[in-house]
Structure 1
Amino acid sequence: MNRSPISPRHRMWSSAAAFAALASLALTSCAAEGSEQDEVSEDQAEGIEEAQTVEHAMGSTEIPDQPERVVVLEINLLDTAMALGVVPAGAALIVNTDELPDYLGEDVQDIASVGSITEPSLEQIADLDPDLILGAKSRHEDLYDTFSDIAPTVFVESPGGDWRSSIRTVGEALGVPDTADALLADYDERTAEVKEDMDLAGLTAQVIRPREAGAVRLYGPDTFTGDVLSDLGFEIPEQDWEDNGILEISSENVGDLAADRVFVSSDPTTPDLPDWTMDLLEGTDSEIHHVDHEVWIAGVGPLGAQEIIAEVEEILSQP
C-alpha cells in the first residue's frame, strides 16, 4: 500500500511513537515496585500503540493503528481510501468490468483485483494477507464473519447510503479521522462556491439511468448524485421515492424524466440504452447530458463528488 509522503497518518504515527516512548519511560521508573498494576499499565500502553477499536455497521472491531495492507470491496470505499492518501492492496471491480475506474488516477494500476463487488474472491483476498478489509453491510452481511476470519473487517451500511458517514468510518479505520473531516469541509466549501457563482436557484435536474426492458431509474435527493446536485443548488422534481432514494419507472411515464437538465448515465451492462432514452425525451424542454456511470452512480466518494462538481461547472459554463 502506497501512502502520500505528507499523509497526516505519518504525523499521527510520530505522535503515537512519542506517547509510547513516554509510557515506556514511566513504566521503567516504576519497575522496581513490580506490582500487578504496573503490568496492566504496560499492556495498555502496548495496546494503545498497536491497535484501535472502530465502531461500524456490524459492531466494533479492533484493528491496527496503521493498517498496511487494505482490501476494499466497494468502489465508494476505494474512492474514499484513495482520497485519504491510501492505495489499497486489493479491490473488487464493478460487475462486467476488468479494471478500476479511470477517474481515480494511475495509482489504481497497482491495485490487485479480488473479484467483483457482487462476488469477491475469498482466495484472492486471503492471498493478499490484508490487515484490514472494508466492505458494506447491505451487500456482504452474510460474509462478514468469513472476512473477519481473514483480517479485521469494517463495514459501512451500504455503498450508496449516507456517503458522508461512510467517509468518516473509513477515516476512523485508516487512522485519519481529521483528514476525513477535512475532505468533507472541502466539499462543502466547493459546492457553496459553485452554487453562488452559477446561481442555480430554481433550476431543476434529473439523474437517470436507462435499464433493460424499457425501464428507467431515477435518483432522488437522498442518493449520492442527488445529494451533490442539491448541494449545488439544483431542485430535483418530487417523486414517490423508494427507501433507497431511487425510483424505477416504465418508459411510458416520460413526463417523470423531464427537467431543465437531465444527466443520463449508462453502465457496462447497458452501453447502448442512452440513445433509446433520448428518444423518450424528444419533445420536452430538457437539456440532456451524458455522464460517466463510474463517477455519477458508482463513485459515491469525495473524489467522485469533486468530479461531478467539476463536470457540472463545465457544462453550465458552456454558451
Structure 2
Amino acid sequence: MTSLYGDGGSGKTLLALSLMVAMASKYQSLWLGEKPLGWKSVGLFAEDDEAELVRRLQRICRAEKLEFAAIAANVTALSCAHMDATLATFSGGGGELIITPLMQGLLDRVRHEGASLLVIDYAAAVFGGNEIDRNQVSAFLRWLNAIAGQEQISILLLGHPSTSGMATGGRGTSGSTAWRNQARSFLHLTVDDTQNDPEDRRLLTLTLSKANYARAGRVFRLASDGARFDILADEASGPRRVKGPRIPASQKVALNALHEAISNAGEASPGGPIPAGVRVVRVDAWRPYAYSAGISAADTGEARRKAFQTARQALQDKGLVGISDPWAWVVEAGA
C-alpha cells in the first residue's frame, strides 16, 4: 500500500487517474517515466462525480493520444461523491475493526475485473474511525496492507495533510503518525508557487519520502496542464543503497528503517569516531522506525526489542552500520 498525500487541488486525483490510464494503455503511455505493470484498475473516488471522472479521463487520453474507449475498458472509476464512502468503522466507537459492505463490494469488483491496482480517494472520507487515534489508524492500514498481499494488488491511498503536515517539507502527514508509518511507500505532492512556467502550466513537486522496497528521497519536479504531467527534473536525493553481504529479512528491515530515520531526522556528524560528512541519528530515534516496519513477527514489546537488538548488532558486526553511542549511521560501500 502506497499513500499519496497533497494539499487540496494539488493534483492528487489527476495523478492517480493518470496512473490508471498508463496501465490501461498497455505500455503506450508512461507514468512518471516508467511503464507500470498490470492493465486493469479500480478506483473509488469520494469527491468527484461520475461525469467529472469521465471528463478527466477523456482529457488524459487526448493528451496522451489514446483511444478513450480502449482505455475505459480497463479502468473502473467509481464515484461516491454523494454517498457515504466509509470503508471501515470500529465497534463501540473504538473497538474491533469492522469492514463495511461498500468495502466488501469494492473488493468483489477488484476480483471481478481482475484489477491489479485499487485507488482509494481519499483517506478521511473512507475512514470511519478517529484519524488521530494511532491504534485505529494502524488497524485500518494493516488491514489494507494485508488485503494488498492476499489479493496480489497494489493499493494507492490518497489523503490530505494536516496544517502541520503541509509545513514539514515532503512529509505531508495528517493526524496520527501511523498514517505514514504503516504505508509501505509515501508520496507527497506540493504546489510550487515560487516559479512561473512559460507554458502557463502548474508546477509541482512530488517527493518519495518513504519507500520500504526502494530508495527514499527521489524527487520529481513536474509541470501539469490539467491533463498530463511533464517531468522537468528527476532528482535522486536519498541515501545510496548499501552493497554488501546478503542479510536476513529482519536485518534488512532494520537497515531500511535506519535509512528512513536518517532521511527524516538525521543530523550532521558530531565528529570524534564518526566520519565527517555522514548523517547520523540517535539509536532511540532509529528503533521506532524498525518497530513500525515490522522487525518482529510477534507484536510484543519484548519480542521487538530483542529483534531490533539482534539485528542492530549483526549489522554492526558486518560493517553495514556504524554505532557510537548514542549515534548510528549507515556505512557506505567503500567507506
TM-score (norm 1): 0.25
Q: Which has the higher strand share?
A: 2
